[in-house]
């Protein structure tokens, strides 16, 4: 009786397992179909499914299929893409032209050919094809935007900033019609940056009014410290108060973008002029700004005179476990400034056998700060795993360069160069 019950239970278990497996298979199949449907819907090119079938064919296989199906324009497009990858744009162009004719200028062919033209400096033709994309679907505006974005990027690479900016204007026009806010934000940032590059182009050509207009257009799209600072530098020549406002705003957002000598000199001049004209309130205003600026700068920038690397010593430890040698570098840091340098960030560059090795080290945790006018304990750096010391010849020169900075946004300052013979 027990055997029968066990056998019956086993049968039920097997049936249940097969049924569950069947549900999993059906679910996976449904999920795959649903994913495929969503992908097609998103791309909005009904031809895409057919095109994907040719994704992994070679040129020889595709040309054979083309003889069997000469009116299948998706084969022409795939061949065009392959020939472009093989750096044969002329052949690729021929296949795109044929695809355009036999597809009756389908959206997929128009888009593919337009992107090809954008990549190969055929900008006018690319724009013409983009405008021929047909339909009311919002996604078509996305594809138009992508074509003009490709045109803009190519023009930017060629440093044709006037034309690139015009192209980004059209990209922005189409991006604004989309629900995709992330893409719109991305385009606004690129468009704003292109205006900054255009401003540099106009400054180089001494077209200052145009440069000011470009930078204001950039700020209207996105407020950036770079555009503010560049406007400030322009206005220094003829409107110092306005210049100070722009540089101050840039400094608030990104202190390290501002040249401290230029801004401090500007504040000195404004304080002097205010005192000269007996405008004490204005003089106090700029004096307060200068004090805050100098206090902030002292916390950000490290100067070579602030610190000194002393007692540098390179040596090899021979008596270690497993008889392996250790390559060590010792040194001390002397604080010569009036400021706490506990946040000192050190970078060591090692040059050996025409190779460069970089070691970054945050030296002083809260437990052991480097206060004003003090010298650190000996700092040891084990170079064994960080530098290749194999195959050393006689008279190898080891060059060690020490760099430091206070703030991670600030540039490194070269502190010392040491030459060691090993």
Task: Profile the chain (422 residues) by mean pLDDT over runs of 10 residues.
Answer: 42 46 40 33 41 58 82 88 91 93 92 95 94 86 95 96 97 94 96 97 96 97 96 95 97 91 94 94 95 87 87 80 77 86 86 86 66 81 82 74 85 87 71
* Whole-model pTM over 0.85: no
Task: Label each residue of 323-364 as H, E or C.
Answer: HCCEEEEEEEEEECCCCCCCCCEEEEEEEECCEEEEEEEECC
Q: In this structure, which topology does domain 304-421 adopt according to CATH? A: Immunoglobulin-like (2.60.40)
pLDDT for the residue 34: 39
Residue of 367, 365, 297, 309 lying closest to 335 (CA atoms): 309
Q: Two tokens at 17?
A: 């397992």
What residue spans of 254-279 are helical by DSSP H? 260-276
Q: Which helix (H) or strand (E) holds 405?
A: strand 397-405
CA dihedral 169, 174, 176, 181 (to 10 degrees): -110
Burial class (CB in 10 A: 0-12, 13-18, 19+), 421: exposed
Residue of 175, 178, 212 lying closest to 191 (CA atoms): 175
Phi, psi of 404 (to 5 degrees): -140, 160
Residues, the chain, total? 422
Rounded CA-CA distance 198/221 in Å is 14
pLDDT for the residue 71: 85
Rounded CA-CA distance 291/297 in Å is 10
pLDDT for the residue 368: 63
Say how far residue 76 (Cα) sits from the centre of its chain: 35
Task: Label each residue of 135-196 as H, E or C.
Answer: CCCHHHHHHHHHHHHHHHHHHHHCCCHHHHHHHHHHHHHHHCCCCCHHHHHHHHHHHHHHHH
Longest Cα separation, the chain:
114
pLDDT for the residue 123: 94
pLDDT for the residue 298: 81
Rounded CA-CA distance 5/199 in Å is 87
Residues of the chain with CATH 2.60.40.10: 304-421
* Per-residue CA distances from 75 to 47, 62, 120, 171 (Å): 11, 7, 21, 30
Rounded CA-CA distance 147/113 in Å is 10
């Amino acid at each position: 009786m027990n055997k029968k019950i066990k056998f019956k239970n086993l049968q039920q278990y097997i049936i249940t397992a097969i049924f569950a497996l069947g549900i999993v298979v059906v679910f996976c199949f449904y999920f795959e179909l649903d994913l495929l449907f969503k992908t097609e819907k998103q791309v909005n090119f009904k031809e895409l499914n057919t095109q994907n079938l040719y994704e992994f064919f070679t040129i020889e296989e595709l040309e054979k299929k083309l003889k069997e199906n000469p009116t299948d324009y998706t084969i022409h497009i795939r061949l065009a893409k392959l020939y472009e990858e093989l750096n044969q744009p002329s052949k690729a162009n021929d296949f795109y032209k044929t695809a355009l004719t036999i597809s009756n200028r389908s959206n997929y062919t128009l888009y593919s050919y337009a992107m090809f033209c954008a990549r190969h400096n055929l900008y006018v033709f690319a724009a013409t094809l983009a405008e021929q994309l047909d339909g009311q679907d919002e996604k078509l505006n996305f594809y138009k935007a992508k074509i003009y974005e490709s045109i803009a990027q190519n023009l930017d690479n060629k440093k044709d900033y006037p034309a690139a900016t015009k192209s980004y204007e059209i990209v922005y026009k189409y991006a604004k019609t989309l629900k995709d806010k992330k893409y719109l934000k991305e385009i606004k940032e690129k468009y704003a940056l292109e205006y900054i590059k255009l401003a540099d182009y106009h400054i180089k050509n001494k077209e200052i009014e145009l440069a000011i207009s470009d930078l204001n257009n950039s700020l209207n799209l996105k407020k950036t410290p770079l555009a503010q600072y560049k406007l400030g530098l322009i206005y220094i020549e003829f409107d110092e108060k306005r210049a100070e406002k722009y540089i101050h705003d840039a400094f608030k957002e990104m202190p390290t973008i501002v040249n401290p000598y230029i801004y401090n000199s500007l504040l000195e001049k404004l304080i002097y002029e205010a005192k000269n004209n007996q405008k004490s309130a204005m003089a106090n205003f700029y004096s307060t700004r200068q004090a805050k600026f100098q206090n902030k700068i002292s916390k950000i920038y490290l100067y070579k005179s602030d610190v000194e690397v002393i007692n540098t010593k390179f040596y090899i430890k021979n008596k270690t476990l497993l008889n392996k040698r250790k390559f060590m570098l010792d040194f001390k840091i002397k604080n010569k400034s009036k400021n706490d340098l506990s946040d000192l960030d050190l970078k060591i560059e090692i040059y050996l056998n025409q190779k460069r090795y970089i070691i970054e080290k945050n030296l002083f945790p809260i437990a052991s700060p480097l206060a004003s006018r003090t010298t650190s304990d000996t700092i040891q750096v084990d170079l064994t795993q960080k530098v290749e010391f194999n195959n050393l010849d006689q008279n190898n020169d080891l060059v060690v360069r020490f760099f430091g900075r206070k703030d991670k946004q600030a540039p490194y300052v070269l502190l010392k160069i040491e030459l060691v013979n090993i």
